[in-house]
Amino acid sequence: MALEDAKNEVDGAFTRKDLKGLSFENTFGGATSFLRRRYTKDLSGVDIAVTGIPFDQAVTNRPGTRLGPRAIREASSLQSPDAPYGWGYSPLDEFAVVDYGDMAFDYADIPSFPGRVTEHIKGILDAGAASVVLGGDHYISFPILKAYAEKFGPMSLIQFDAHSDTWADDDFSRVDHGTMFYKAVKSGLVDPKTSVQIGIRTDNPDTLGVNIIDAREVHETGPAAVAKKAREIVGDRPVYLSFDIDGLDPSAAPGTGTPVWGGLSSGQAAIILRDLAGINLKGGDIVEVSPPFDTTGATAIAGAHVAMELICLWGWTRRGG
């Protein structure tokens, strides 16, 4: 059946009728929506809206993540014909997943940007869908969390990252991708006691009470133990999962702005994400993919897989059977 479909399918991003089901058009051709989902602004009956926020004006080092959503979409074509390995179910067959496109904003009007992000995500949540966001730099998680906390109350955060991003900054008008979780905790958007940061390997003496599983602990105890510990920390509380691609080692994900050696392998990250199955995931993001430094495309491929794992995690507690 897939072979017959492959002969006839093209540009499913615009032509597909059903919001559910795999896609079998050639992975190297056609319009590259995320996982060949339909591009639409109509959220009627939608379970998950994948949306891009192509913003990188909060970076402290190398820019380029504004191009991340486009690269992740292209890389995701490789996954569109198959159910994800290791999950035992096909979320694209069971749930209505769409590509909601990128958020529109005035790149030169930075003061208005955070509010635009919150309203963009709030529109998705108000329609009854969850969001999976393709970044963009990591600052975007702060205004996204405002929308989630408004709907679900203070969130438990699971963060994959080389950096804690909790450096002190009491100027809440500053747009900075290293201080947004400080602001999220101080604003009451994130409950630090039931939150966990995985893969940390840069120094920040004040963790604000957030639980830390640093990269060394991942390497020494193994990914299955890390996932178990993270599940125990968040319990059954509403979770937002934010995956900074620099949580991976630069050998696995060179295309990012602030790479740090000694990070997670893609294999470790995959095991942790899959073993988080059962958490009360409400939404998530994959950020800091910077295509100008991604000479092989490996970083975008990793980002696309993370986004798919977020969809799988969201669907795990809602799937049929």
Give the pLDDT confidence of 186-233 residue by residue, as tens digits.
999 999 999 999 999 999 988 999 999 999 999 999 999 999 999 999
pLDDT given for residue 245 in this prediction: 98
pLDDT tens for 219-269 read 999 999 999 999 999 999 999 999 999 999 999 999 999 999 999 999 999
Residue 109 labelled as part of a binding site: no
Query: Is residue 163 over pLDDT 70?
Result: yes
Q: Could you give the CA distance from residue 292 to residue 256 in angstroms, rounded to a whole number? A: 9
Q: At 77, give phi and psi (nearest 5°).
A: -55, -30
Q: Nearest-CA neighbor of 228 among 265, 274, 283, 190? A: 274
Q: At 258, give phi and psi (nearest 5°).
A: -130, 70
Residue 244 labelled as part of a binding site: yes
Side chain identity at 279, as an amino acid letter? I
pLDDT given for residue 9 in this prediction: 85
Q: Calculate mean pLDDT across residues 163-188.
A: 94
pLDDT tens for 63-89 read 999 999 999 999 999 999 999 999 999
Q: Which residue has the tokens 């991976």?
A: 248
Domain ranges of the chain: 2-316
Q: Could you give the CA distance from residue 241 to residue 216 in angstroms, rounded to a whole number? A: 21
Of residues 7 and 34, more confidence is placed in 34
Cα 157 → chain centroid: 12
Residue 275 labelled as part of a binding site: no
Read off the tokens for 274: 């899959």
The CATH H-level superfamily of 2-316 is: Ureohydrolase domain (3.40.800.10)
Residue 305 labelled as part of a binding site: no
Residue 138 labelled as part of a binding site: yes
